[in-house]
Amino acid sequence: MSFDYDVIIIGSGPAGFSCAMQSTKFDKKVLIVEADDNHLGGSWLNKGTVPSKALREAADLIQDFHSQFGDEKGRKPYERFKMDDLLSYKKVALESKNKKVKTDLIKNEVETARGWGKIVDENTVEVKTSLNQTVTYTTKNILIAVGSSPEPPKSFEINHKNVLDYNSILNITHIPRRLVIVGSGVISFEYATIFSSLGTTITILNDTDEFLPFLDHEIKEDVSKVLKKKGILVHSMATIKEVKRNPLRTCMEVMFKTEKEDRLQVLETDQVLYVGGKSPNTENLFDQSLDIKLDSEGYINTDDNYRTDVKNIYAAGDVTGNPTSASTSFVQGRLAACSMFDIPSKAPTGDIPYGIYSIPEISGIGLTEQQAEEEGIEATVGRAYYKNLTYADINHKTDGLLKLVFRTDNLKLLGVHIFGDQATDLIHLGQSIMAQDGTIKYFIEHVLNYPTYSEAYRIAAFNGVNRVYKAGVKYKNILEK
């Protein structure tokens, strides 16, 4: 039986884009279905990863200027810079990336169809255009890469004007002097530090008992110190009772209670940012006759090859649930393409690093000190504080810590945890050593450029070796391991 395409991909985000690029390298005919009439790249390029990171870079540059040269005539960043300045910075980045994605698709002869895709059967996709016309395509394989969307809050409504979600926050018209962030996750922390760097007074209402609980305990302690330094206030176990506008005081009011203080508290703020969970974009995506299994939250179940219960229908990216990040979605899309066309390919082995694009950044991979202890591993740690790095002094970015976790008996590297400037880049050196089952001796025995942040690995390695030495092992025996 002949088909119009070898694979139809619904969604042009990182998973869909990656699958399309890989499929063309196998000389396959590819169609991407994209609901957005104006842009490709999905939330990754237009509402999430890229625009938020562009905003972060602009804020970081402004903070750098003010940290080195001080406030001009006592003016805070939000008084000197306009939101238009930041949006212009973001716009240039988005236009450049959109152009590159479009060029890549054209160069690799990937066809696109604009409209809402629906899987009618295992080989047929209908696309409903903005003109209410329906076009039908046939295909040998289908990849679902439709991503996810923000879930609305339960106790108040988002109006995208003074009550925002993490899409509309990217299009505000001015830098707020006060911002209340409702949420407990990574995105809450990222936006808190971004706007704090612009001079905004930040309060986080966290609905859990612990903020960023997965962090190594020492990294968490350093993060808490920086939050305090920035004046960012966190209320844990907070329950929102009401969010409303006070016309007399021309501000928003957020009423809440905490488990610690069971009394109604009121915060006055210019704007409220709600950062809740996500839900998969699977509504009306496929005919109910198809045996595509979903989990209890509506995410699509797949096997290790990203195949659903329908043998030629695959799913990758946020629509499959955790981990939800552009980096993992890129890999999943490529592996799905390899699977559907029977091309041998190995999935990533070992631990996957996480990255938090706050100011400063946070990144980690492997075991924390506590996890190593819980697993019964005799481990030692080595630390390097940013305040002791020449490069950090030069850049006036001395907040932070790089921490190595390694086996005491053979120095094998088990985990790397970083809080500080360029942490999300810096993590990959440790990841490379861990992937080779390497030891911290690598950082001692090899030359690392100076001055750089990478020097922190060498300092942390020596610090760790000294700890083993002080525990009673002769230095010569340590280095001979």
Q: pLDDT per residue over 266-315, tens digit each?
A: 999 999 999 988 888 988 888 888 889 998 888 999 998 999 999 899 99
72 has a pLDDT exceeding 60:
no
**Which conformational region is residue 212 in: left (phi greater than 0), alpha (psi within -120 to 50 degrees), or beta?**
left
The whole-number average pLDDT for the span 224-236 is: 91
**Among 13-17, 76-80, 156-160, 332-336, which is the least confidently predicted range?**
76-80
Whole-angstrom Cα distance, residue 43 to residue 146? 10
The predicted structure's pLDDT at residue 473: 59
The predicted structure's pLDDT at residue 472: 58
The whole-number average pLDDT for the span 135-158 is: 91
Question: Which tokens sit at 221?
Answer: 């302690």
Q: pLDDT per residue over 305-320, tens digit each?
A: 999 999 899 999 999 9
Q: pLDDT per residue over 375-424, tens digit each?
A: 999 999 999 999 999 999 998 899 999 999 999 989 999 999 999 999 99
Higher-scoring residue by pLDDT: 95, 179: 179
- 14-25 vs 83-107: helix axis angle to the nearest 10? 20
The predicted structure's pLDDT at residue 479: 62
Q: pLDDT per residue over 77-118, tens digit each?
A: 556 666 777 777 777 877 888 888 889 999 999 999 999 999
The band of 171, judged by pLDDT with boundaries at 50, 70 and 90, is: confident
The band of 68, judged by pLDDT with boundaries at 50, 70 and 90, is: low
Q: pLDDT per residue over 6-65, tens digit each?
A: 999 999 889 999 999 999 999 999 999 998 888 887 777 777 777 788 888 888 887 877
**Among 37-41, 157-161, 446-450, 472-476, which is the least confidently predicted range?**
472-476
The predicted structure's pLDDT at residue 438: 95
Higher-scoring residue by pLDDT: 268, 69: 268
**Among 37-41, 221-225, 247-251, which is the least confidently predicted range?**
37-41
Whole-number average pLDDT of the chain: 88
339 has a pLDDT exceeding 90:
yes
pTM: 0.88
478 has a pLDDT exceeding 80:
no
Q: pLDDT per residue over 347-366, tens digit each?
A: 777 788 999 999 999 999 99
